[in-house]
Structure 1
């Protein structure tokens, strides 16, 4: 029990310090904005703890998770840019090149915040969204099968798994 409390306290302090440094670097050290800074840092710290709770292995796995998070962010931004351009191109055609489909795709992530993050990120990808979660996976609504939604979903889950420090496993179970 004491180790768990210490892990959470350490995570709260470190994240709050990091987010405070980010706030000060962006907004400056101005007393007029201190209240906004306190609210913003508090909310961001709480959100980061909700989305990425402190890991049981403590600081041992953080370099791999941090690098996985950086790679996930880069991949996501690239996919969003390419997907956005593709969707825009399809939309401006005289006859829009869309053939909406719903496809099923399996979970690779265990139930929890990593899986939730993957579903949220998938909904931000242009052209494809999670329609609903079912017992062993998700139903993806896509503008076209040419967008390879199942492959994109699997790649996203593998990258989220690296960022969260978990192993992707086919048929990961209940949502």
Structure 2
């Protein structure tokens, strides 16, 4: 047999090896994180609950989920070990240090409009108005000029020549 026939199988086995190797690294990192948990550390479970570690055993961890409420979890149920700053920010809503250069985003938009008063020369815009104001603001025509021009009688019947032509091939059959 030729090596070219076995090349796809070799590539497939190599790809599987690389994928399982990266997955094993992630599992080892998670296990190391769980083993390094100390009492008093804030954690997040895989279910999304935040708690403080009270006691750590070989396979379990006792977590304080509320003041005076303790629950026993498997170590595998710990999704992340948080540092104190992050835990306090998430759970207690602790504010950021004012010394940091990151901008503070307001919770609502009211602070963006405070103190914005319309200027004295600005009038509020009514978007529901039609063009009635435009007719009033248009320059007035000279009445003498209108008298000189002949006006067509608007009520007069229109001739057949002025009527729109039918182009779809239909005839006026009666």
More strand by share: 2
TM bucket by the smaller chain? under 0.3
More relative contact order in 1 or in 2 (CA 8 Å, sep 6+)? 1
Q: TM-score, length-normalised on structure 2?
A: 0.23
